Structure 1
């Protein structure tokens, strides 16, 4: 998970490397009754964080599992500044998907979308392919994307279906062979069996005034590949 502002922050933001606490008395929302299990985590700024992120906030993350095995992540970030100052931030769920072979995977839902190519100085392009396939390193931020994206693994005959709310962008990343070998925490051949597709809010940082709260939601399910391959309708109503 990424969370940070526009200043001098560590790569991928700072929320993913901090110690969270478990909410022992989470709110029992109506939708909570539909979960098989869930946990609420809370992150608040430490004294050290204030040196580079001079704002007060409360970050609540709910991780839920449905009876059918779907995963739901709900992030809520509130500006708790008492000095009346607003702040802006960028956000992404840092989601890695296990795939059989990156060369046999396709992503549907991002065709015709504009993207910023992070390998070319964030130059802006428009996706021309009918679906995303992979033959080399990729690091792109697709902007103003649909709420539904599918990652189709032909060999496993499995499709990950992602629904998202509150996050207009989507990052697609795979380091490929040369960069994988240069990464100390990444196996030389692990790039072949992973794909990162992150719901995000990056191009336009999110503003929050004191007392305001932002909510971002991701729902992941795994279904037979025939469910989406060639049939994905990005405009379909969320959860419809």
Structure 2
């Protein structure tokens, strides 16, 4: 049984977001996760004795030190991103959260490439406020939206609590993320709820993408869902009527 002090469990997360059935609930994660999760422990001590969040070196704890950043130019912005993704996909007794899965590095890599530049999408005007069902409507690229959104997260934290976002208590982060999810924070050429949707989507993609894209570290995201990853073949298992538990495999580990 999940410790009550942990707040929302991984199973609750799956139920709330509809991930277990392969869909996402239109209302989003907020309400089922951020906000509801305010009773989580203030920090989780790692093997070095540091708590997750900012440390004296300026780097977020538990991040692999041999992985460089491709998009973010400062650790301050990267730490804001890291803590925001961790509140959306938190660690619990079932498995690691966004930071442990390397999600911030996944997003950093994506923003530095075609995803961040909207390279494969039509980005010409005219630009008008569209309905929520119309998808991407902003004149800004994802890279520009994330840059502005992360700066706004930090700005909102300093306005409300006179501290940077990554230095806040979990319930304070949740309060600010909830304001973004509700579209209450003013942004330029984009709404804060649209930025939150991009952040939430990228967080989930980073948790479950193939590890070659820098997220889903050690395939832990797949292991939590019992997903086998990329197998060369299922010939040995396909006729077996019993449930088969298969160790997941990444594209990078496949032989040719």
TM-score above 0.5, yes or no:
no
Task: Provide the TM-score with structure 1 as the length reference.
Answer: 0.24
Higher RCO (CA 8 Å, separation ≥ 6 residues): 1
Higher helix share: 2
Higher strand share: 1
Task: Provide the TM-score with structure 2 as the length reference.
Answer: 0.23
